[in-house]
Structure 1
């Protein structure tokens, strides 16, 4: 079943509000961390959102996907740019699996010593 991303984004907003009521410092810290990089001015909003979407895909965060998809589109990211950023995420995951495959073989080889 396909997710209704717009409804989910609205539900998340309400959920964040509940967390903020119970633990305002936690939500404030997450918001501050998200805003910190923007203050340097080295990357534009669209680039930051493309990175966020790539990270969202690699961390499998549906909440991040729905929030940052909306922000990326708002910042002017095209479907093609988003797909390219996601291609980088796919390559990074494949690369990480390759690195850890070598580590697995090292662990297996250590058993033979």
Structure 2
């Protein structure tokens, strides 16, 4: 997880421990391999993050996808799905943030 998100979640956990514990448990349950692989779920999280225009989510999910072996090309195609579903705003966020993060990671 991205350090700034980790720090924010840690601070929020101090204020809302039950909520944040539940959220963490939900995340762990959802991301596990099931009928849909964890790898595919990571790509879905990238697409949804871009469609929702959540910059911290984009950073976190692009990094997690890349670290789990998802290629730059696959991540870019996930952005294409977001653009299809969310239009111009997703194109802007995908262009600005996803490419920047992948370039920072050297992928």
Aligned partner of residue 35 in structure 2, secondary structure: coil
Unaligned runs of 5+ in 1: 1-5, 95-113
CA shift for structure 1 position 24: 0.7
What does residue 51 of structure 2 align with?
Answer: 58
What does residue 7 of structure 2 align with?
Answer: 14
State the structure with more CA Rg.
Answer: 1
CA shift for structure 1 position 73: 0.6
What does residue 101 of structure 2 align with?
Answer: none
Unaligned runs of 5+ in 2: 88-107
- Alignment counterpart, residue 75 of structure 1, candidates 54, 68, 74: 68
Cα RMSD over matched residues?
A: 1.8
- TM-score normalised to the size of structure 1? 0.69
- TM-score normalised to the size of structure 2? 0.72
May I ask how many residue pairs the two structures share in their alignment?
87
